[in-house]
Amino acid sequence: MKNKRFTAKILIDIGMTICLLLLMPYSLLSEIAHEWIGMAMLVLFISHHILNHKWVTSVRKI
């Protein structure tokens, strides 16, 4: 279970990095592609924060 969770975290981080790199050159993409990649980035961002919820709560305790 822990190994699958770690793999999911790494894949989400890689996906967010790829989306970010694709979103930067706005003029090279169509507006529709930019919007879809942005929505994918939002979904990855939310899932990233859900998977790292324990870390956020531990930082608050310090």
Q: What is the pLDDT of residue 1?
A: 62
Q: What is the pLDDT of residue 59?
A: 87
Q: What's the pLDDT band for 60 if we cut at 50, 70, 90?
A: confident
What type of residue sits at position 58? S
What's the alpha-carbon Rg for the chain, to the nearest Å? 14
pLDDT at 7 over 80: yes
Region 33-38: what's the mean pLDDT? 96
Q: What is the pLDDT of residue 57?
A: 87
How far apart CA 27 and CA 3 sit, in angstroms, is: 39
- Using the CB atoms, write b or e for 17-46: b if 16+ within 10 Å: eebeebbeeeeeeeeeebeebeebbeebee
Q: What's the pLDDT band for 36 if we cut at 50, 70, 90?
A: very high
